[in-house]
Amino acid sequence: MKHHHFILHKPYGYLSQLINNQNKRRNKRLLGELFDFPEGTMAIGRLDENSEGLLLLTTNGKVSEEIRSAKYEKEYYAQVDGIINPEAIKQLQEGVEIGINGKKYKTKPCKAKSITNLDHIPLADRKVRDERHGPTSWLSITLTEGKFRQVRKMTAAVGFPTLRLVRVRIANIKLNCSVGEVYEVNNLH
């Protein structure tokens, strides 16, 4: 059986699923609206409805498991409320305590840094709020784990809630296509 692999720039407001298998999500936008994926295609990892950016899809469950493993880095750009400071960056790098399934969890050390230039990332021109509500800033966070809503929980734990979240890289695959664009590749390694 020939497997298929896809790279997608998931737009804001879409669920990381191809078919609606839950009635409560009847009116939600799904990835299948963006492209005619072959049967058996699955998202590798997820981005919540309010997140955007790089999403890999495959028909090969083994590839999915491998890419979700801790040996592959996932890099996110987070626009946060306020101007992120060096102390908060250091806390993120060392690991912070967040809640996972009602239990306290300390995140693994990660890479984190403030960023100012996003010209190299194909982002939708989407305003998250009015300037009257105060300044925002961007940071890069690179993880080897992927807990539920982890980046959002981490930035909130250091006092800078995430307003916008964009995954820009998985391993050596970088976000380099327009919002909503999908293309097939020979492999994902």
Query: Pairing state of beta strands 111-115 and 136-143?
Result: antiparallel
The answer to whether residue 48 is catalytic is: yes
| Separation between Cα atoms, residue 162 and residue 43, nearest integer Å | 23
Domain total in the chain: 2
Question: Which residue out of 48, 81, 119, 130 is catalytically annotated?
Answer: 48
Which residues, 6+ apart, have CB-to-CB distance to 50 below 8 Å? Answer: 12, 13, 165
Instruction: Note whether 47 and 100 are same-domain residues.
Output: no
pTM above threshold 0.85: yes
Task: Please give the residue range of the domain that contains residue 36.
Answer: 5-69+172-185
Instruction: Note whether 57 and 92 are same-domain residues.
Output: no
> The tokens 């890099």 sit on which residue?
75
The pLDDT tens digits along the chain (189 residues) read: 799 999 999 999 999 888 766 555 567 889 989 999 999 999 998 899 999 999 999 999 999 989 888 889 999 999 999 999 999 999 999 999 999 999 999 999 999 999 998 888 877 777 777 777 889 999 999 999 988 899 999 999 999 999 999 999 999 999 999 999 999 999 886
Instruction: Note whether 119 and 62 are same-domain residues.
Output: no
Instruction: Note whether 156 and 178 are same-domain residues.
Output: no
